[in-house]
A and B are shown apart, each in its own frame.
Chain A
């Protein structure tokens, strides 16, 4: 899933302080799972904002809504009838949802209510960690299923670097060294001989480096 984290409420207040009527808009997908932008968080944020404006003696209308997804036309269209009741939207979907909203409702101010971080997993209750950076050319087949792009702080393809110590990364003693994980996996798979294959220079043109990416599937297109 796409993992996001809540923005500090002060930052959100600063962006919306001049508006009178605000829609807090959640998303029922990834951000619900990582408990940053689902229906529950919409409720919490909306209450906190109401409380804030009340204390300031200001009458600001704060409405709540959560869509099935904010990254599909279909669901974003559901608010076309009501969007003009508000002079701004705080979207607590990931950055993708915020942008798709902005693209669809050209003249409506849309503000992000979360910081979008990474594609990752729920490692434990309340703990989410990164697994993929969408490099566009997956090489997990040769690294025992562990990604050096997202799990090595230097995205080294022939690791580990000299800073790996007791399984931890040089940047943080709490952080697992991605290359230790790769080696552990290769060992468990009985494939340690593969360790000595040199990974060639990566083609980053499918990555962020190549510019905004696009997938077009003729078999799916209407």
Chain B
């Protein structure tokens, strides 16, 4: 397959390597060191780093500025962009801003509802949805035009991604929904954190049965758990998360001081199993406020060193 953009992530996937991405949450303040430190911890073990966009609706330093920091460090960013906070003017404008720094990856999301965050009394925008944001970026890139129809001078060159949650309801539309995102123009997918491997494999099988794995690169999402408490929290509190009882039990049965290590082991085992699953093109490791563990996970999963492409 040939590439459509200068994205390093796209090149790695197109060359047939298993890609590895991770994420950085920007700080709740303006200290740029927080971003550069996190990036330095993981940059040699991943191909690209996502920067979350006010995740869980907590106000943070903006994703675009943090992506620019990464870019200036020579690290490949994936700009996460939610439709919750920006109308179509702001979205297109931020896409151009990112493109002006040669940010070549974007992840199109709707975003958690604002009621989860620190501005529950605020408005939400949702002028367009994540599906339509995918279309918008492709339109800007491929047709070189604004939504309003005018030509864009130097259009953005972005590899276009989106999220998929194989565990959300209703289950029967999880594959049709992916097909829909592909029809909208998505090129790579980063999934919700996977703990229920059986269910994920069932979803992947249905994805492959429809031949969708030929049309999109799917990176399996993983988040190592730090403690049994976190496992329970993820199971009970996080919308759209599927943590099987045996995982919670395995964490709970582990002595407290060894739980973090057990969480890493579970994550590494999952990657090893999912590497063999047809349709999995890579991994997206979201070690939330635990970035220092990413190198260990990547190395133990046999995904290091990372390929070099140009």
Give me the interface of A with B, judged by CB distance under 8 Å: 153-167, 170-171, 177, 180, 183, 192, 195-196, 198-202, 204
Contacts and interface: CB of A to CB of B under 8 A. Distances in A.
A170 B240 contact: yes
B208 to A, nearest CB: 18
A164 B169 contact: yes
B169 A167 contact: yes
Interface in B143-196: 147, 163-165, 168-170, 173, 176, 179-180, 183-184, 192
Contacts of A157: 129, 131-132
B129 A162 contact: no
Contacts of A163: 112-113, 168, 239-240
A196 B181 CA distance: 9
B168 A158 contact: no
15 contacts: A156-B129, A157-B129, A157-B131, A160-B169, A162-B163, A162-B239, A164-B168, A171-B113, A183-B173, A192-B176, A201-B88, A201-B132, A201-B147, A202-B127, A202-B128
B183 A154 contact: no
Contacts of B180: 158, 195-196, 198
B151 to A, nearest CB: 19
Given A160-B168, A164-B168, A198-B180, A154 B173 contact: no
Given A196-B183, A198-B180, A154 B126 contact: yes
B226 interface: no
A202 B127 CA distance: 8
A202 B87 CA distance: 12
Contact of A159 (B84, B129, B135): B129
B124 interface: yes
Contacts of A204: 127
A159 B173 CA distance: 10
A201 B126 CA distance: 11
Interface string B202-243: 000000000000000000000000000000000000011000
A164 B136 CA distance: 24
A82 B84 CA distance: 50
A198 B124 CA distance: 22
Contacts, number: 90
A209 to B, nearest CB: 8
A200 B132 contact: yes
A179 to B, nearest CB: 9
Contact of B184 (A161, A166, A192, A198): A198
Most buried by B among A156, A162, A200, A202: A162
B240 A164 contact: yes
Nearest to B183: A198
B168 to A, nearest CB: 5
A202 B136 CA distance: 13
A171 B192 CA distance: 18
Contacts of B84: 154
Contacts of B184: 158, 198
Contact of A154 (B88, B129, B163, B168): B129
A177 B147 CA distance: 30
B269 to A, nearest CB: 25
A126 B147 CA distance: 45
B110 interface: yes
A162 B84 CA distance: 14
B40 interface: no
B115 interface: yes
B113 A170 contact: yes
Nearest to B164: A162
Contacts of B136: 201
A198 B135 contact: yes
Counting from the closest, the 9 A-B pairs by CB-CB distance are A162-B165, A158-B131, A170-B239, A163-B239, A156-B129, A162-B240, A171-B113, A162-B168, A154-B126
A164 B132 CA distance: 19
Given A156-B110, A161-B130, 19 more contacts: A157-B131, A157-B132, A158-B131, A158-B132, A161-B168, A162-B192, A162-B240, A164-B168, A164-B170, A165-B239, A170-B112, A170-B239, A183-B170, A195-B173, A198-B180, A198-B184, A201-B88, A201-B135, A201-B136
A165 B165 CA distance: 11
